[in-house]
Amino acid sequence: MESVRGEHIAVGTEILLGQILNGHAQAISRAFAEQGMFLYRHTAVGDNLERIVDALREASHRANVVIVTGGLGPTADDLTREAMAAHLDRRLIASETAEREIEAYFAGRGRPMPEENRKQALLIEGGIHLPNPNGTAPGQYVSADGVHYFLLPGPPLEMNPMLVHHVMPKLRALFPREQVLVSRTLHFCGIGESSVDEQIPHLLSGSNPTVAPLASEGEMMLRITAAAATVDAARQQIAPIEAELRSRFSPFIYGVDGDTLPVAVGRALTARGETLAAAESCTGGLLSSMITSVPGASAYFLGGCVAYANPVKERVLGVAAQTLQSHGAVSEATAIEMAHGVRELCGSTFGIATTGIAGPDGGTTDKPVGLVYVAIAGPDERRAFRLQLRGSREQIRLRAAKQLLWRLWRAVERSPQSP
Amino acid sequence: MESVRGEHIAVGTEILLGQILNGHAQAISRAFAEQGMFLYRHTAVGDNLERIVDALREASHRANVVIVTGGLGPTADDLTREAMAAHLDRRLIASETAEREIEAYFAGRGRPMPEENRKQALLIEGGIHLPNPNGTAPGQYVSADGVHYFLLPGPPLEMNPMLVHHVMPKLRALFPREQVLVSRTLHFCGIGESSVDEQIPHLLSGSNPTVAPLASEGEMMLRITAAAATVDAARQQIAPIEAELRSRFSPFIYGVDGDTLPVAVGRALTARGETLAAAESCTGGLLSSMITSVPGASAYFLGGCVAYANPVKERVLGVAAQTLQSHGAVSEATAIEMAHGVRELCGSTFGIATTGIAGPDGGTTDKPVGLVYVAIAGPDERRAFRLQLRGSREQIRLRAAKQLLWRLWRAVERSPQSP
C-alpha cells in the first residue's frame, strides 16, 4: 500500500523578497498531518519559468503528491500553468468550464471579464479543473507518472477553502487506507531540554510512537506521535508514554496541546474560584499582558501595578522605604512586599511580583543584568525566588514572566480545589 | 564582480508538520533585500540526515550563499552539523572556544554543562565559530567550492541577532558592491496605506530612488532606496523624496529607520525632561510592556496601573463610582478619569489610558467588540479619542496601544521643549 510522500512548492517573488510570509506551507502541512499524511519538503521559488520547472522536476523525483500554490493569476508574471505544461511536456487547452466560471465571477460584480483573465482558463492537457468560488484563478489537478499535482491560487482566502473542499477529499480517495497519525504535546517549564532528554533516551529513540522535543523561549515541549489504524488505537499507544512522562516530570508539565502558561494559570484559578493581581517592575507590563491575552481573563485577573519607579513601589504598593533603602529595589524583600502589596491593593487571592535588571544597562557586580526576583503572596504564604537569567532584554523579561507563571501555576495547583 | 545567489534551508520536522511557521525564511529574505542581495529559493526539510544532505547538495549546485537554520541543538534529532560534515566530506572537530562559550552559558545559570551539550561545540573542519550570546547553540561559517555556508540556531531570539551581527557583515565583506544601496524608512501611524499611496503615485513608480510601502500591524512604512557610487551621493538622492513626503504627511511620520512608536515617545519625553504613567484596561499591560521594552525607559516611565476590574479603577485610579455607573467602564469619561488618575498616582507629566472591548466576547450593539477609548491627560488638557478597531483580540489590543502612542507622541511634540 502506497503512502503519501507530499511536497509543497510556493511560487512568488514576493515570498523570496520577504514581503509576505509563506503561510500556505504551514496550512497545507497541518491539513496533511491531521490526515496522517506528511509533507517531506517545502520549497519557495520566484516568478521565473525555468526555476519553477526545476522545482517541479526535482519534486516529481521524490514525491507522489505535489501541491503548488501561487502563479495562477492573469499577469505576465503568473507562470505556474506554463511551467507545469513544460515540465510534463503537455499542451495548455482552454477550458470552457473554467472560462464560464471566471465570466460568472466578474458578472457577479457587474463587470465583463477582462481579456487578460482568459489566460486563467487554460488547463494542462489531461488535467481536471478545480472550482474557485472566491476568486478568478481556478485550480487544477493533473496526474502524471505516478505523481498527483494540485495547482492552487495564492491568495489565502481562495487557497484555503480549495484545500479543504477539493484537495484533501481527493487525497483521501487516492490513498484510502492511510494510517491515522495522532499527536499529543506536553508543555514543560522549569526544566531544561537537556535535563529532560537525558532521562528518557529510550523514549526519544522509539519509532512508533515517536517522542520529539521542541524548544521554545523559556519552556519546552515533548510531542508524542503515534500511527495506527484508528484514532482510538493511536491514543492507546500514546497513553502509556504520557503516563511515564507524567510520573517522571509531573511538577514541570503544566499543560497539553494548545495550552500556554497563562491558559494553565487561568484554568487553575478558575477551578478554585480564585483571583490574581500582578506587580511588575522589570517585566514592565509584559506579565499582565500575557495573562490578559487569554480571552475571559477578566474573570480571575483583577489588575495590578507597573511599579517602575521606586516612589510608585512605595506609594501604590506600600513597599517600605526602609526595605528599598537597606535591600534595594532588586531584592527578595522588595519582591515579597510588592506581591503582598498588590494582593492587598486589588483584594485578590494571589499577588505576584517581579523586580530585576533586564539590561542591557544597570547591572553591577553584586546585581548583574539578568538577576530577577519573583514572588508569590497567597492566603497562606509569601515566597520569593531568585533567578539569574541570560539573554537580551526581551529574553530576560519573557523568561522571568514565564518562570513566575510556572511557579504560580504550581502554587495554585497545590491549593485545595473548591467543590 | 560576483553577486549573491542565496538560498535558505530551514531544518525541522515541526515546520513540515505545520506546528511552527517558517518565519526565518522571511526574516532572512528581508535582511538580504535590504542589502540589495537576493534569495532564489527557500527550502524546508525535516530532522533527517539524508534529506538535509540532499538539500545542501542541491543548494550548493545553484547558490553561492546557503543559510541553514535549525538542527543545532543538543539532542539526537539535531543533525545539521552532521549533515554539513557529510555533505562536505569533512570531519567534525571539538572547538575549545565554542565549548568554553557553552560552559559559560551554563555557569551563568549556576549549572554545569550537561554532557550531551558538548556535541554543540563540534565545528566543521575548516569552519569558523559564530558566537551566540542568547543560547547554547553556536553558529558556524564554512566556505567550500565557492559556496559560503552559514549554520544558525532555530530559536528566533538567537537566530535574529546572529543574522544581523555576524552573517550580514560577513556577506557585505565577501560581496563588495560597485554601487552602494542606501535605504531610509519613514514610519507612519494614524493614516492608512491606501490614503498614502494614492497621493504619491509619481514616487511609487520611480526606479532610482525606489519608494516601497511596507505594511505592519496598525502602522505602515515607506522605504526609500537609492543606488549610487557613494553613500553620500545616495543620501543626496533620498533627501528630496523624504522632504516631499514630510511636507505631505508630517503629522503621521513619527520616526525613521529603526524607530518604533515607544522609541519616538521616549525620545520626545526625554528631550523635554517629562515623564509618563499608563492606566490600562483592555490593553491589560501591553501598552506598558511596549513602553518598557525600550532600554532606559525607566528615565521617563514611572509606572502605572492595569485596572482590569472596576473596583481597581475606583480604588487605585480614583475613577468615580458615579462615572462607571452612568457612562460604563468603556466610555470617554472613564478613559479621561483613568488617565488623570494615573497621572496623579504616579506624579508624572503625562497620564495615558485605555478602556475598551478587545473581544472575542463582551460586545453589545451599543458597544461592539473593537470599541476602545484612549485618553491623554497632560499639564494643560485632558483628551479622549474614540476608536473602532477591527481584528482579533490580539490585533485590537495592539492597534489600540499604537493609536494611543501615536497621539501621545503628537501631544508631547507639540508641547514646548526644555532648553
pLDDT tens readout for residues A164-213? 999 999 998 998 866 777 889 999 999 988 889 889 999 988 889 989 88
- What does the pLDDT average to over A117-138? 90
Nearest CB partner across the interface for B18, out of A29, A304, A315? A29
DSSP readout, B107-172?
HTTT-PPPGGGGGGGEEETT-EEE--TTSS--EEEEEETTEEEEEE-SSHHHHHHHIIIIIHHHHH
Chain B residues within an 8 Å CB radius of A286:
285, 289, 292
More confident position, B179 or A98: A98
Nearest CB partner across the interface for B285, out of A289, A295, A311? A289
Question: How many residues would you count in chain B?
Answer: 419
Nearest CB partner across the interface for B295, out of A297, A360, A389? A360
Cα separation, B109 vs A399, in Å, equals 13
Per-residue pLDDT band at A418 (split at 50, 70, 90)? low
Chain A residues within an 8 Å CB radius of B58:
58
Chain B residues within an 8 Å CB radius of A291:
284-285
pLDDT of residue B114: 87
Query: Which residue, among B174, B262, B154, has the nearest Cα to B218 in the 3D structure?
Result: B262
Alpha-carbon distance B322 to nearest alpha carbon in chain A (angstroms): 20
Chain B residues within an 8 Å CB radius of A183:
17
**Percent of chain A with pLDDT strictly greater than 70:** 99
Compute the radius of gyration of chain A from its Cα atoms. Answer: 28
pLDDT of residue B212: 82
Per-residue pLDDT band at A162 (split at 50, 70, 90)? very high
- What does the pLDDT average to over A18-26? 89
The SS3 call for residue B48 is coil
The answer to whether B265 touches B409, Cβ cutoff 8 Å, is yes
What ranges in B63-95 are assigned the alpha helix state H?
80-88
- What does the pLDDT average to over A204-227? 88
Q: Which of B15, B289, B396 to mutate to test the interface with A (most CBs of A within 10 A)?
A: B289
Whether domain A180-256 has CATH 3.30.70.2860: the reply is yes
Cα separation, A182 vs A256, in Å, equals 14
**Percent of chain B with pLDDT strictly greater than 90:** 73
pLDDT of residue B111: 81
Q: Which three cell numbers stand for residue B51?
A: 534529506
The answer to whether A376 touches A411, Cβ cutoff 8 Å, is yes
Q: What are the phi and psi torsion angles at B165 (to 5°)?
A: -90, -20
Specify the residue for cell string 504535546.
Answer: A185
The SS3 call for residue A389 is coil
For residue B133, what are the contacts with CB-CB under 8 A and spacing of at least 6? A390, A391, B161
Q: Tell me, what amino acid is at A242?
A: E
pLDDT of residue B149: 98
CB contact under 8 A, A197 and B154: no
Chain A residues within an 8 Å CB radius of B214:
19
CB contact under 8 A, B17 and A33: yes
Alpha-carbon distance A31 to nearest alpha carbon in chain B (angstroms): 8
Q: Residue B416 has what DSSP assignment? A: P
Burial class (CB in 10 A: 0-12, 13-18, 19+), B169: exposed
The answer to whether B147 touches B165, Cβ cutoff 8 Å, is no
B350-387: pLDDT as tens digits: 999 999 999 998 899 999 999 999 999 999 899 999 99
pLDDT of residue A383: 96
The answer to whether A338 touches A404, Cβ cutoff 8 Å, is no
**CA torsion angle for B167, B173, B178, B180 (degrees, to 10)?**
50
**CA torsion angle for A280, A282, A285, A290 (degrees, to 10)?**
-100
B125-136: pLDDT as tens digits: 999 999 998 888
Alpha-carbon distance B98 to nearest alpha carbon in chain A (angstroms): 17
Burial class (CB in 10 A: 0-12, 13-18, 19+), B218: buried
Question: Chain B: residue nearest A280 by CA?
Answer: B303
Specify the residue for cell string 492537457.
Answer: A125
pLDDT of residue A182: 86
pLDDT of residue A80: 97
pLDDT of residue A63: 97
pLDDT of residue B135: 86
Cα separation, B388 vs B386, in Å, equals 7
Residues of chain B with pLDDT under 70: 1, 417-419
The answer to whether B93 touches B128, Cβ cutoff 8 Å, is no
For residue B151, what are the contacts with CB-CB under 8 A and spacing of at least 6? B68, B72, B80, B81, B84, B139, B140, B141, B142
Cα separation, A81 vs A49, in Å, equals 10
pLDDT of residue A417: 61
Chain B residues within an 8 Å CB radius of A194:
74-75, 114, 116-117
CB contact under 8 A, A292 and B303: no
ipTM for the predicted complex: 0.77
Chain A residues within an 8 Å CB radius of B155:
215-217
pLDDT of residue A1: 59
Indicate the helix (H) or strand (E) that contains B419. Answer: none
pLDDT of residue A108: 77
CB contact under 8 A, A286 and B285: yes
State the Cα angle at B234 between B229 and B237, rounded to 5°.
Answer: 130
CB contact under 8 A, B304 and A296: no
Which CA distances in Å does A183 have to A105, A201, A324? 41, 19, 50
A248-278: pLDDT as tens digits: 999 999 999 989 999 999 999 999 999 999 9
For residue A188, what are the contacts with CB-CB under 8 A and spacing of at least 6? A196, A219, A220, A221, A222, A249, A252, A253, A254
Chain B residues within an 8 Å CB radius of A360:
295
Cα separation, B410 vs B414, in Å, equals 6
- What is the separation of C-alpha B144 from the centre of its chain, rounded to a whole number of angstroms? 33
Nearest CB partner across the interface for A316, out of B17, B309, B316? B316
DSSP readout, A110-139?
T-PPPGGGGGGGEEETT-EEE--TTSS--E
Interface A:B, Cβ pairs < 8 A: 283
User: Considering only the top CATH level, what class is B272-414?
Assistant: alpha beta
**Percent of chain A with pLDDT strictly greater than 90:** 73
Question: Chain A: residue nearest B21 by CA?
Answer: A26
Chain A residues within an 8 Å CB radius of B109:
388-390
Query: Which residue, among A61, A24, A43, has the nearest Cα to A144 in the 3D structure?
Result: A61
Q: Is the pLDDT of residue A217 over 90?
A: no
pLDDT of residue B171: 95
Query: Which residue, among B239, B87, B228, B73, has the nearest Cα to B159 in the 3D structure?
Result: B73
Strand partners for B221: B187, B214
Q: Domain locations in chain A? A: 5-174, 180-256, 272-414
pTM over 0.80: no
Mean pLDDT of chain A: 92
A5-174: which CATH number, 3.40.47.10, 3.90.480.20, 3.40.980.10, 3.40.50.360? 3.40.980.10
Query: Which residue, among B178, B80, B74, has the nearest Cα to B135 in the 3D structure?
Result: B74
The answer to whether A213 touches A197, Cβ cutoff 8 Å, is yes
Q: Is the pLDDT of residue A14 over 90?
A: no
Chain B residues within an 8 Å CB radius of A10:
42
pLDDT of residue A177: 66
Chain B residues within an 8 Å CB radius of A20:
26
Alpha-carbon distance B402 to nearest alpha carbon in chain A (angstroms): 15
CB contact under 8 A, B280 and A285: yes
* Beta-strand relationship, A301-307 and B301-307: antiparallel
Which CA distances in Å does B138 have to A349, A359, A396, B15, B162? 44, 22, 19, 21, 10
pLDDT of residue A75: 79
Chain A residues within an 8 Å CB radius of B303:
305-309, 312, 316
Strand partners for B280: B306, B354
B318-322's contacts with Cβ under 8 Å and 24+ in sequence apart are B318/B344, B318/B345
Alpha-carbon distance B279 to nearest alpha carbon in chain A (angstroms): 9
Alpha-carbon distance B359 to nearest alpha carbon in chain A (angstroms): 7
The answer to whether B419 touches B404, Cβ cutoff 8 Å, is no
A30-67: pLDDT as tens digits: 899 878 788 999 999 999 999 999 999 999 999 999 99
Query: Which residue, among A157, A117, A162, A109, has the nearest Cα to A139 in the 3D structure?
Result: A162
pLDDT of residue A42: 98
CB contact under 8 A, B77 and A44: no
Nearest CB partner across the interface for B42, out of A22, A193, A278? A22
CB contact under 8 A, A42 and B43: yes
Q: Which three cell numbers stand for residue A274?
A: 480564585
Indicate the helix (H) or strand (E) that contains B95. Answer: none
Question: Chain A: residue nearest B23 by CA?
Answer: A21
The answer to whether B72 touches B81, Cβ cutoff 8 Å, is yes
The answer to whether A375 touches A381, Cβ cutoff 8 Å, is no
Q: Residue B225 has what DSSP assignment? A: E
A368-401: pLDDT as tens digits: 999 999 999 999 899 999 999 988 899 999 999 9
Per-residue pLDDT band at A157 (split at 50, 70, 90)? confident
Nearest CB partner across the interface for A198, out of B16, B42, B114? B114
Nearest CB partner across the interface for A394, out of B288, B293, B311? B293
Break chain A down into helix, strand, coil percent, rounded to 5: 45, 25, 35
Alpha-carbon distance B262 to nearest alpha carbon in chain A (angstroms): 13
